């Protein structure tokens, strides 16, 4: 199992070595490209809208994960209390 994770980490590192991070959008693109494939065709307003959308999605995902964790541990607690 650990070997599999090490292999995956090495693969990711290898992929990242061929990529560079865009200073505009923060995503990675191939080094051989002159401009970012994600945002070079977008103007500043469009890029700002996409970045806001991404941020909003991450926030909602974080809140959802937190609520899921609270419900999960609440159910475990209820199960532990119910066993007594």
Interface residue list for Zn ion (CB under 5 A):
22, 24-25, 36, 38-39
Spell out the long-range contacts of 69-77 with Cβ–Cβ below 8 A and sequence spacing 24 or more: none
Residue 44 CB, shortest distance to Zn ion, in Å, is 12
Closer of 12 and 21 to Zn ion (Cβ)? 21
Residue 32 CB, shortest distance to Zn ion, in Å, is 15
Contact 28, 19 (CB under 8 A): yes
Closer of 19 and 38 to Zn ion (Cβ)? 38
Q: Which residue has the tokens 């959308």?
A: 53
Closer of 11 and 30 to Zn ion (Cβ)? 30
Alpha helices in the chain (DSSP H): 2-17, 44-82
């Amino acid at each position: 199992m650990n070997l599999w994770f090490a292999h995956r980490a090495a693969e990711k590192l290898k992929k990242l070595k061929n990529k560079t991070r865009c200073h505009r959008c923060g995503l990675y693109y191939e080094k051989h490209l002159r401009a970012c494939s994600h945002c070079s065709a977008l103007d500043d307003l469009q890029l700002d809208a996409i970045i806001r959308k991404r941020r909003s999605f991450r926030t909602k995902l974080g809140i959802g994960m937190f609520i899921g964790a609270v419900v999960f541990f609440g159910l475990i607690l209820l199960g532990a209390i119910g066993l007594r």
